Amino acid sequence: MKHLIVLTIGLLFSCAIFSQSLLKGKVTDKNKKPIANARLILQNTDRTCTSDSNGNYVISIEGRVVRVLIISHDNYKSDTIDTENNLTVNIELEFIYAIAKATVKGDNSATTYIGFQTVKTEVISAGELKKAACCDLAGCFETQGTVQPMTTNIIANSKELRILGLSGVYNQVLIDGMPLIQGLTYTYGISSFPGTLVDNIFVAKGTTSVLQGYESMVGQINVISKSTDKGDKLLLNFYANSFGETQYNINYRFGKGKWSNLISGHMVQPAQKWDRNKDGFLDLPQLKRYLFFDKIKYGDENKKGLNSTLGLRFLGEQRIGGQNNYNSKTNLGSMNIYGQKINYLQNEAYTKTAYRFNSIKKLTLIASGFMQDQKSWFGTVQYKATQKNAYANLQYELTWNGTHDFKTGISYRHQDLNETIGFSDTNLKRTYGGFYTKIENIPGVFAENTFKWKGDIITLITGVRADHHNQFGWQFTPRSMLKYDLTDKSTLRASAGTGWRTVNLFSENIGLLVSSRNVIFKEQLQPEKSFNWGVNFLQKFNKKHVEGYITFDYYQTRFQNQVFPDYDTDPTKAIITNFGGTSISNGFQTDISVKFHKIIEAKAAYNFLDVYRIENNAKFLLPFNSKHKVLLALSYLPKSKKWRVDFYAHWFGKQRLPNTENNPEEFRQAKTSKPYAIFNLQATKSWKKLELYGGCENILNFTQSNPIVSWQNPFSPYFDTSFNWGPTRGRELYIGVRYKPMKEK
């Protein structure tokens, strides 16, 4: 009996030794470089491990069952491998570039490309930004067809970024993932961020993740600033155009150990006074801007422990425009000489601080805040405003079973906006002067799960958030996104979800303050709400000497409530109401991008927009939208990479304009604009440490005639600057220098 017991124990011990095995190997990239901190999970088990600094991993297994490994890393494309019962398996991962919750293929060449995200995301790389002047963020979209910069006030040259033919307020603009362009900062915010400070721009259509809020109703633009720990050590940039405007930029990066830092300075000095169309008004404003930016980073977000990024920005700006003889010191509020003067100071700070417990658990705090103080005159309208904004988001992340990435947390938003409007004349009998205050406190909770099936072949994101507005109560925002890789080169995407926002009427519709119209409020404004859905198909191709992609997408936005100033009913009034009827935007876009021999790049894009309302059973197109738009771009970069030439053209179809039939005949405008085309060209010469670039925008010198209604008498009831549907400043020549005296790291 004793021998039987000993034999039985021995057999069990032998079985245990046999059944307990170790699966090991090495994780590398395509160049055999070891990858540290890759997460490996044995499918359908709780067994997991992380690769070490040499890329090596070891994970215990049991039995002789089929063993499937799931491998993931924030900077590499996830993979799923059947080990086929081998005990040594080496793994290669494909590099991607991960930043600010957006993961894209690692390619910093001069191109726009489509990332790996579940939502279709166009990535405008740092190399792509060099194809045009890109003096500021508003000028960074010349070579792609999704985002359309639109001028909202031609006298002060304020701009917005439109997606799907809708006002820029409906897409969320983020700086390093932070909501810093809201309210007062919306009017001039996209023009205040210098292009030399931009590393990448991620452009997504449709509804996006609920993690960053409820406001991305038709899309999201996430602007990523230059890195603190890679890229140019020192960059000096000078730019000047044929109007006489000059810009100066400096970026300097340094660090030691776990710390790294990027400091940047930006200055704009005003152009000379130009009036090419002889309407008595300056073609562009006198602009002065001074900006200081500091970005500090500690630690590595992919390693266990604490990491943090802190950003600080200080901005001061002045814009002066109007009639040629306007003097901002003596003519403020004058009824004899029309002019505009805008002064504002803005300070902002943001941080992203995280603690990684292990390869599958992380806690992240994201917080930001800004203050702006603005003093301005628009003719006889005085506008003074201050704003304080605060935002915080505490998020817990958990990866489980290798197929789920779950995020949940709480958020809080605060906005304190105070506006004062007064008039220096009483002739126009405008009634909307006074004090406007808006205080918002919006706590929220959210949860989102990313489910991956069969590796990365199918990815489904489902999320929901609930936010409590101090005035409008609970608001719920559900969203879902699906990506299906039909093949390794064919991808189908779909998204659907809701969004909402509250209105900042004057800062988001600056034309109300500029024109002579009286602003009439018919009722209390409610939050704008919409439902958006869309589908996208991407086909990549890669032959011997040709590579590229073609995409097709369609998105529809349906508003449940929309606030849109009515300029048509009465030419002397802008009527503000809630519109709960049918308001729809249909957008179709197709893009094809081709690279030949890695020397010639060609791109074409076509947009079809049908943006309308139904009123009294009749369809009314919304103004200032080209139903048809075409982009053509061509780049030539020899193998030596010592010089390059970039050419691109935009063609815009006709646009409906606001109704002016009730104006006196001399102040009436056409019902639709003319189709027009813009052609731009740039050449760049490169040396080891120096780049010289120069170009011409609007080569054929096309300009819209009479963009200002009643320019002869800017104090009449019919004066209006909202009819700018095309270029107003004509041909522009420019030259610039980029100097990088220190070696990149």
Output the pLDDT for position 485: 92
**Digit-coded pLDDT (tens) for 67-92:** 678 887 767 777 778 777 778 888 88
Fill in the amino acid letter for 353. Answer: T
Helix, strand, coil abundance in the chain, percent, nearest 5:
5, 55, 35
Domain boundary among the residues 94, 120, 141 is at 94
Please choose, from the candidates 138, 204, 224, the residue with its C-alpha nearest in 3D space to the C-alpha of residue 499: 204
Most distant CA pair in the chain: distance in Å?
Answer: 117
Average pLDDT value for residue range 199-209: 93
Q: What is the mean pLDDT of residues 137-146?
A: 89
Residue range 496-537, pLDDT digits in tens:
999 999 999 999 999 899 988 899 999 999 999 999 999 999
Q: What is the radius of gyration, based on Cα positions, of the chain?
A: 28
- Residue 690 sits in the same domain as residue 731: yes
5 within a domain of the structure (yes/no): no
- Any domain includes 14: no
pLDDT at 311: 97
| Long-range pairs for 402-405: beta carbons < 8 A, 24 or more residues apart | 402/41, 402/43, 402/48, 402/70, 402/72, 403/43, 403/70, 403/451, 403/452, 403/453, 404/449, 404/450, 404/451, 404/452, 405/449, 405/450, 405/452
Q: Specify if 6 maps to a domain.
A: no
How many CB atoms within 10 Å of residue 109? 13
Q: What is the CATH number of the domain that holds 392?
A: 2.40.170.20
Do residues 325 and 360 lie in contact, with contact meaning Cβ atoms separated by under 8 Å?
A: no
476 vs 218, 276, 465, 468, CA distance in Å? Answer: 17, 52, 6, 9
Give the C-alpha separation, 515 to 567, whole Å: 11
Query: What pLDDT score was predicted for residue 67?
Result: 65
Strand partners, 97: 104
* φ/ψ (deg, to 5) at 591: -130, 145
pLDDT single digits (tens) 316-366: 999 999 999 999 999 999 999 999 999 999 999 999 999 999 888 999 999
561's CB contacts (< 8 A; 6+ apart) are 526, 527, 528, 529, 578, 579, 580
Query: In this structure, are residues 210 and 216 in contact, taking their beta carbons and an 8 Å threshold?
Result: no
The tens digit of pLDDT for each residue in 210-259 reads 999 999 999 999 999 999 988 889 999 999 999 999 999 999 999 999 99
Residue 331 φ/ψ region, left for φ over 0, alpha for ψ in the -120 to 50 degree band, beta for the rest: alpha
Instruction: For residue 146, count other CB atoms closer than 10 A to its CB.
Output: 25
| Across 646-654, average pLDDT | 96
Give Cβ neighbours of residue 530 (< 8 Å, ≥ 6 apart): 170, 217, 218, 498, 499, 500, 557, 558, 559, 560, 562
Instruction: Note whether residue 171 is domain-resident.
Output: yes
81 & 124 share domain: no
Q: What is the pLDDT of residue 13?
A: 36
Residue 744 pLDDT: 67
Q: Which residues contact 161 (CB under 8 A, 6 or more apart)?
A: 138, 141, 147, 148, 149, 150, 168, 171, 173, 190, 221
Where a domain ends, among 64, 94, 124?
94
Q: Is the pLDDT of residue 745 over 70?
A: no
Torsion of CA 353, 357, 361, 362, to 10 degrees: 0
3-state DSSP assignment of residue 166: strand
C-alpha 263 chain-centroid distance: 22
Query: Residue 1's pLDDT is what?
Result: 44
Is there a domain that residue 620 lies in? Answer: yes
Percent of the chain at pLDDT exceeding 90? 66
The pTM assigned to this predicted structure is: 0.87
702 pLDDT higher than 50: yes
Using the predicted structure, report yes or no on whether residue 399 has a pLDDT greater than 90: no
Both 389 and 451 in one domain: the answer is yes
Residue ranges making up the domain that contains 75:
20-94
Mean pLDDT for all residues in the chain: 89
Same structural domain, 42 and 146: no
Same structural domain for residues 180 and 40?
Answer: no
DSSP annotation string for 10-25: HHHHHHHHHHEEEEEE
Cα angle 154-156-160, degrees, rounded to a multiple of 5: 70
CB 283 within 8 A of CB 729: yes
Q: For 111-139, what is each residue's pLDDT tens digit?
A: 677 877 888 889 898 888 888 888 899 88
Checking if the pLDDT of 6 tops 50, the result is no
Co-location of 25 and 116 in the same domain: no
Q: Is residue 485 a part of any domain in this protein?
A: yes
CA distances from 720 to 179, 419, 518, 669 (A): 32, 22, 12, 11
Q: Is the pLDDT of residue 66 over 90?
A: no
Question: CB-based contacts of 263: which residues, under 8 Å, 6+ apart?
Answer: 251, 252, 292, 293, 294, 295
E strands, 177-304, in order: 198-205, 219-225, 234-241, 246-256, 259-269, 286-298
Q: 211: exposed, middle or buried (C-beta count within 10 Å: 0-12, 13-18, 19+)?
A: buried
| More confident of the two residues 77 and 390 | 390
Task: Check the CA dihedral 577-578-581-586 and report its sign.
Answer: positive
- Whether residue 480 is found in the same domain as residue 380: yes
Q: pLDDT over 70 for what percent of the chain? A: 93
State the pairing for strand pair 643-652/628-636. antiparallel
Residue 106 is predicted with a pLDDT of 39
Q: Is residue 626 part of a domain?
A: yes
- Interval 271-281 mean pLDDT: 92
Assign residue 88 the CATH number of its domain: 2.60.40.4130
Paired tokens of 543:
């032959």
84 and 106: one domain? no
Say if residue 264 is in the same domain as residue 122.
yes
Last residue of a domain, one of 49, 73, 94: 94
Closest Cα to residue 114, out of 549, 496, 472?
549
* Same domain assignment for residues 259 and 295: yes
Q: Are residues 65 and 181 in the same domain?
A: no
**43 with 148, same domain?**
no
Question: Tell me, what's the pLDDT at 62?
Answer: 61
The total of structural domains in the chain comes to 2
* Nearest CA among 306, 412, 310, 401 for reference residue 363: 306
Whether residue 145 lies inside any domain: the answer is yes
- What confidence tens digit (pLDDT) does each residue in 9-27 have? 343 333 333 344 678 889 9
Which residues, at least 6 apart from 487, have a Cβ–Cβ distance to it below 8 Å?
none
Q: In angstroms, rounded to a whole number, what is the distance separating the alpha carbons of residues 39 and 357? A: 13
Tokens of 497: 């979800």
